[in-house]
Amino acid sequence: MRTLLPGITAERLPTSGLTMGVLSATGRTGQPVLFVHGNVSSSLFWQPTMLALPEGYRPLAVDLRGFGETDPEPVDPTRGLRDYADDLAAVVEALGLESVHLVGWSMGGGVLLQYLTDRPGGHRAASVTLVAPVSPFGFGGTRGIDGTLCDPSGAGAGGGSANPDFVARLAAGDRSADAPTSPRQVLLTTYVKPPFVPAELDIFVESMLSTRTGDDHYPGTSVPVNAWPGFAPGDRGVLNTMAPGYFRIPSLAEVRPKPPILWLRGADDVIVSDTSLFDLAYLGSIGAVPGWPGPDACPPQPMVAQTRAVLDGYAAAGGRYRETVIADSGHGPHLDQPEQFRAALAEHLAGA
C-alpha cells in the first residue's frame, strides 16, 4: 500500500554513519523542524503533523536505525540511547542544519535528552519538544524521583519485558485485528485513547511493521536473575537502550545554551505514566503479574514525576520549560488530539 501522504517526500540520506530514511514536506522552506519517532513506529507517524505545520517552517522527520527506511544496523544498548542520538546528529549535519527545532515522541524524547546531554556546548537545538517522553531514568526497574534502581541488576526492565505474542505478530507482519496483541490492536488501545481511530490507521500499522525484530533489534535480549520478575536487561536490542542501567539523564543543568523545552503529554497515557500498563511493577501491584514482592521492594515507577523532577532542575539551572497536559488523550496526543497538539507546538516554536 502507499504509505506516503500527498505532499510528503521520502529520501534515503547518506550520513557520516548510516544511510537514513528522511521525510520532508514537498516545497517547504523556513526554519527546520525535525521530528523523531518512538519505539515500534517510524517517521510515517509524523506525516499529518508535518503537513499541518504553519508556513515558515520546514518539516522533516527521520527514521531511527532499525526502523522504517534507515539501515538495519544493530543498536548497542550499553551506550543507552547514544547510537540513536549520534545518528540524529549525523542527519542534522548531513542536512546542513545550523539550528533546528527538535520534536521527539516517547523513545524519541529520550533520544533528544541524550543528544542534548552528550553535546552540552555543541547541540543545534533551537527548541525541544518532548511528546510523552520516556523517563530520564529509563523504562522500568526504578523507584523515586531520583530513579534509584529497585534491584542492582535492573530486574524487570529491558528486552525480557516485551509481550512474546506481540513480538511474534510484529515479526510475522500481522495486519489483522484478531487479537489484543496484534500491532493494530496495540495501536488502538495504547498509542491513542480509545475509541479514537486515526484516519491513517493502515499507514501507521505499516509503520509499526517496519520495526526490525530479533536480539539485535526489537525487543532485544535479557538475562536470568533471582530478583522478581526473574530477568534483567541484556546487552543487545532496542528495549535495553532504555534500561535504567544503561540510560540515565539525571540532570540537564550543563546543557549550553539552554533551548526552551515543551513537555506535551496525554492525560490518559497508559504507556508513559506513574501507573503504566507496560511497567511490570505496576502490573504486579494490581495482580496482573504474579509474585510481585510488594511496594517496598519494587514499587511502580513514577515516570511522570521523574521527568518533572529533571525538568525542574533544568529550570533551576536557568533553562525554561512548560508542561502541557492534553485532556482525553493517550500516548500519542499528536494522533488523537491533533488540533490541541498542533496549537501548543506552534505556540512553542513561535516563542522560541
pLDDT digits over 123-139, tens only?
Answer: 999 999 999 999 999 99
Surface-to-core class of residue 208, CB atoms within 10 Å of its CB (0-12 exposed, 13-18 middle, 19+ buried): buried
pLDDT digits over 158-181, tens only?
Answer: 999 999 999 999 999 999 999 999
pLDDT digits over 207-236, tens only?
Answer: 999 999 999 999 999 999 999 999 999 999
Predicted pLDDT at 159:
98
Predicted pLDDT at 180:
98
Per the prediction, the chain carries an average pLDDT of 98
In the predicted model, is pLDDT for residue 351 greater than 90?
Answer: yes
Sign (positive/negative) of CA torsion 182, 241, 213, 143?
A: negative
Cβ–Cβ < 8 Å for 33, 349 = yes
HEC letters along 133-152:
CCCCCCCCCEECCCCEECCC
**CATH class as words, domain 8-351:** alpha beta
For the chain, give the percent of residues with pLDDT over 90.
Answer: 99
Distance CA 118, CA 45 (A): 27
Sign (positive/negative) of CA torsion 115, 19, 6, 171?
A: negative
pLDDT digits over 54-66, tens only?
Answer: 999 999 999 999 9
Global confidence as pTM: 0.98
Cβ–Cβ < 8 Å for 11, 22 = yes
In the predicted model, is pLDDT for residue 1 greater than 80?
Answer: no
Surface-to-core class of residue 286, CB atoms within 10 Å of its CB (0-12 exposed, 13-18 middle, 19+ buried): exposed
